[in-house]
Structure formats: structure tokens, C-alpha cells
């Protein structure tokens, strides 16, 4: 049995995909690609159209049809901490989670529903970038805010968790399922502890995570992917008084969000003009 699995990674205006064949020994990448500019080009008006384009490409190139689809989701909110099989109940719950990641989750959920609409019997599994950090100790998850806000889900979630899990497997510090999102079981194998280490995910969005014995103990990102150290266009951590100042100066939440996520960081500090 060598199942073929399609992995989808949805961005705000992009869709990355990879098709793998899995055996007991290894994963073979059959093909991979990316679609950019979704919502800009008329022929790919949204992520549902991008999903259709991916499946059309697989057919046109006579590639194997996937037996399951795995999705990376940026946020699981306070209720979803492990890979889960897609179901109507799960989708309803994830729609309620959208306020935790309004820039990313709607497009990711649209892609899931687009797959289900075309192939209703095709199994789909989601795994969350926040799941790895769900094992953080409470002292790392808590912000110095009233307890009631923590109980409402205002806490440090951390991101890039799938990247950190991958790094730990390469370092021999963890045994993660052989297939993405836990679609297949992995053979049991000993995993020696890594001791103490700081791992980095560096890109336009960047973060760091401290691990001990293969378990997370702290991370730079917090409630959203905008937190942490300065990134390509994101500010990273700010004095909360700055946001209050901007609100009192008449800036609305949408404008502040654009400033913090798209006009700051390495782009904004040198004085690049607003976009």
C-alpha cells in the first residue's frame, strides 16, 4: 500500500501544493507547485478557483489522483490542538474560530469546502500551526492580562508549529507521523531528547521557539502572527500604548491592521511609502 496524498497550504493570495506517495520507508514527492496572485487575476478570482486549477493540473499531467488531502491551517483557536478529520461539525467550529485569524482562516476554509464540493468522498485532514505550541507551560501561554481574557482565549498561541515539528524530526528529537497531518501511522522508533535548543523559522514571517527535550517551552509569536520580533512587513511586539494612541488619533482597526501587518518591519523602517 503506497497511498498518494495531496498537501495544500493556503496563503492570503496564494496556494502551495505538493503531491506525495508514501511507503513504509519514505515519502516520494511526485510534484509540487504554487499559484500566486489569487484574487488579482480574473481567471483565479478566489481560492476555490485555485483548488480547481490544482486538480485540473494533476489530471492534465496524468498524475495519480490523491487518496486524501491534508491542509495546513494557521490557527486552531483554543479548542483545536491536534490534527482532525474534516467534518461538518469541525467546519462549523472552525468558522467560529475565524476572529482569531481573520486574514487567513476564511481562505483556508474556502479551500477545504472547494475540495469537498468537487470530491465529497475524498478524506480531508487539517493540522494547525498552533498545535505544536499548545503544549507550552501556562507561564508561557499567559499574558499579564485579567484572567477573564485568558479564559476567553486571549493567550499565546505561537505559530510555525509545523515547521518546528519538522525541524525536530530532522534533529532526531521527535517521532512525527510519516505523512502530513497524521494521515498515516508512523513506525515506532526511539527519539533521543534534544536537550535545550532555540529553533528559528525565518522568512517574511519569522519566529523563534525554545524547546527542551523536544517539547516547546516558549516562542516569540503570541496571540497572532504579527507578534514577536520585527519581520518583513510586520511590526512584531509593540508597546500597547502605541495602538491606543493610534485609536485616539482617529485611526480605525482596519487601518491599524494594515500598518502593523503590511507596512512595518523591514519594509516600513527604512521609510518605504505606504501601499
Residues taking part in catalysis: 129
Angle (CA) 220-92-143 rounded to 5° is: 25
CA-nearest of 115, 116, 120, 123 to 67 is 123
Rounded to whole angstroms, the Cα distance separating 164 from 173 reads: 11
Residue with cell 469546502: 113
Amino acid at each position: 500500500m503506497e497511498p498518494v496524498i495531496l498537501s495544500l497550504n493556503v496563503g492570503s493570495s496564494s496556494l502551495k501544493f505538493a503531491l506525495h506517495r508514501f511507503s513504509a520507508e519514505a515519502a516520494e514527492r511526485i510534484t509540487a507547485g504554487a499559484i500566486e496572485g489569487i484574487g488579482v487575476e480574473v481567471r483565479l478570482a478566489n481560492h476555490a478557483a485555485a483548488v480547481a486549477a490544482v486538480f485540473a493540473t494533476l489530471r492534465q499531467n496524468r498524475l495519480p489522483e490523491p487518496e486524501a488531502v491534508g491542509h495546513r491551517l494557521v490557527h486552531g483557536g483554543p479548542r483545536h490542538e491536534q490534527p482532525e478529520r474534516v467534518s461538518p461539525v469541525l467546519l462549523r467550529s472552525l468558522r467560529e474560530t475565524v476572529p482569531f485569524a481573520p486574514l487567513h482562516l476564511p481562505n483556508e476554509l474556502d479551500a477545504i469546502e472547494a475540495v469537498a464540493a468537487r470530491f465529497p468522498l475524498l478524506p480531508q485532514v487539517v493540522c494547525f500551526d498552533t498545535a505544536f505550541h499548545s503544549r507550552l507551560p501556562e507561564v508561557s501561554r499567559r499574558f499579564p492580562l485579567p484572567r477573564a481574557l485568558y479564559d476567553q482565549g486571549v493567550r499565546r498561541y505561537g505559530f510555525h508549529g509545523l515547521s518546528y515539528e519538522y525541524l525536530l524530526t530532522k534533529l532526531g528529537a521527535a517521532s512525527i507521523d510519516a505523512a502530513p497531518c497524521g494521515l498515516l501511522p508512523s513506525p515506532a522508533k526511539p527519539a533521543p531528547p534534544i536537550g535545550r535548543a532555540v529553533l528559528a523559522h525565518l522568512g517574511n514571517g519569522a519566529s523563534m521557539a525554545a524547546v527542551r527535550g523536544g517539547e516547546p517551552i516558549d516562542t516569540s509569536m503570541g496571540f497572532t502572527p504579527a507578534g514577536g520580533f520585527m519581520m518583513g512587513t510586520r511590526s512584531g511586539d509593540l508597546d500597547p500604548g502605541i495602538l491606543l494612541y493610534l485609536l485616539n488619533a482617529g485611526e480605525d482597526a482596519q487601518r491599524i491592521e494594515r500598518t502593523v501587518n503590511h507596512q512595518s518591519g523591514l519594509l516600513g523602517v527604512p521609510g518605504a511609502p505606504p501601499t
